[in-house]
Every structure is written in C-alpha cells, then in structure tokens.
Structure 1
C-alpha cells in the first residue's frame, strides 16, 4: 500500500475543531474532501499532515495559525464611509458583506463597528489567528 505524496489526488474525511473543542467544519456528513496534495489547495498544515499517510490511516493533528490561515492582520481591518456603501445596506455589527477587490475577486468581510458616518470591516479570514485541530482519515489516493 502506498503513501500519499505531493502531486497525488487524495480524498479525506476530516473534522476541524478549535482548541475549546468546538467544531467549525466536518466532511463526515457529506462526500470526502478531494484535493491535490501539495498544490496549494489546502492550508499548509493540512497538506503536511496528509503527506505520508496510507489509505485507512487516521490522525489528529494540531495546526498552528501560521500553518493555517495566518495571524490576524490589522491592515485587514478598515473604516469605510457610509456614503460609499451600496444603496439599501443597513450595516449591523456581525453582519457579513462582500467587497469587490480591484482584481474582481469577491472578498467576504464582517462588520465590526458601526458609527454615525462610517463602518469598520474586518477582511481577515474568520479562523485567522487561531490554532486548529483536525481529525483526518485518508480515504483514497489517485
């Protein structure tokens, strides 16, 4: 039986948890996640964890924020004047919005502060700055 290596297309079942044990995502109630190992499709720590596994192997791995979604960046928290918001938007703290990057890419953001003339939004990934724990089971290697 061969080991998963960079360039292989693999399928895994996983459960992602925070240090407090709360689950933020799982493939257990759906199809396994398929990705090309080492192709940058996954966070670096996830790729590293799967590399070398055999079909049927299960592991639990802790991935530091640096090998996951990175640290929170203050540069990703910005103020926007309310008069620049699209018509009909009534921002509230915790509300999720989507911004257009100049490249055309959609960027999800969260409203973190609402003031009279402006709002503050956070474009950091929701899991930025967090160490993650994954239970991973390798289902197949192609």
Structure 2
C-alpha cells in the first residue's frame, strides 16, 4: 500500500481545533485540501504529520506552536496614533485592518486595545503561540513524476 513521502501531492480532509476543543478550520462541506508534501505550503507540523499515511487512513496529530505558526511575539504588538486613522473610522477591539510595510507588502493586523490617543495593533498570526490539533483523513496520494523517463 502506497504511503505518503516528501514530494507527493496529497488530498486530505481535516478538522483543526485548539486544545480547548474550539474549531478554527475544517474541510467539511468543501473539496479536500491538496498540497505537495515537503514543499513548504503547509505549517511544518502538518506537513510532517501526513508522511507515512496511506489512502483511507485517519489520524489525529498534535502540533506544537513552534511547528505551527510559531510563538507569540510581543515585538509584533505596536501602538498606532489615533490621529493617523481616517476621521470617519471608529477603531474597535477585534477589528482586522491591513497595513503596509516599507516595501509595499500588505499584512493583516488586529486591534487589541483602544486607548484615548492610540490603538494597539497585533501583527501576530491569529494562531501564533497556540498548540493545534488536527484530525486528518488521507483521501489521495499522487507520487511525484520522475524527471527522467526510460524509453
């Protein structure tokens, strides 16, 4: 029976939850997730967690924060002056905004605190610092095509 190895393209159904049981993502009702194992398309713990699985196999994997979205970084919290917001905008805790860095790249931030003269923005990934649990079902495995084919 074929087992997943790096370089294979796989399709999986998954249910992602936090250690308190809260679901943060699931493929339920959608097409299975397709990705190339080992290509850096997935968080490291998910990528390595499917290696060795066979079609039809189900398993649960626990992924540490370090193997998921990394630790929560305090240096990604920043105060942004209230007078830099458009006058018609009322910042609220939980609101997601898009910021631009010096190179023109956009990244999401979440308002975590609204003070009188500033707003605290968090640029961490929403799942940073969290252990993740995935229930995975292997749906399909396609081995990588050889680069050289013998005639």
TM-score bin (small chain): over 0.9
Equivalence for 1:6: 6
The unaligned stretches of length 5 or more in structure 1 are: none
Distance of 2:72 and 2:63 partners within structure 1: 16
Equivalence for 1:81: 81
Q: Which runs of 4+ in 1 moved over 6 A?
A: none
Equivalence for 1:47: 47
Distance of 1:33 and 1:103 partners within structure 2: 32
Q: CA deviation at 1:7?
A: 1.0
1:131–1:55 distance in 2 versus 1, CA, 3 Å: same
Alignment of 1:111-130 (within 5 A): 111-130=111-130
Distance of 2:102 and 2:54 partners within structure 1: 43
Distance of 1:46 and 1:84 partners within structure 2: 39
TM-score between both structures, scaled by the size of structure 1 = 0.94
Please say which structure displays the higher CA radius of gyration: 2
Distance of 2:71 and 2:41 partners within structure 1: 19
SS of the counterpart of 2:99? strand
RMSD of aligned residue pairs (Cα, Å) = 1.2
Equivalence for 2:37: 37
Distance of 1:134 and 1:99 partners within structure 2: 31
Q: CA deviation at 1:80?
A: 0.8
Q: CA deviation at 1:96?
A: 1.0
Q: CA deviation at 1:86?
A: 4.1
Equivalence for 1:97: 97
Equivalence for 2:20: 20
Equivalence for 1:64: 64
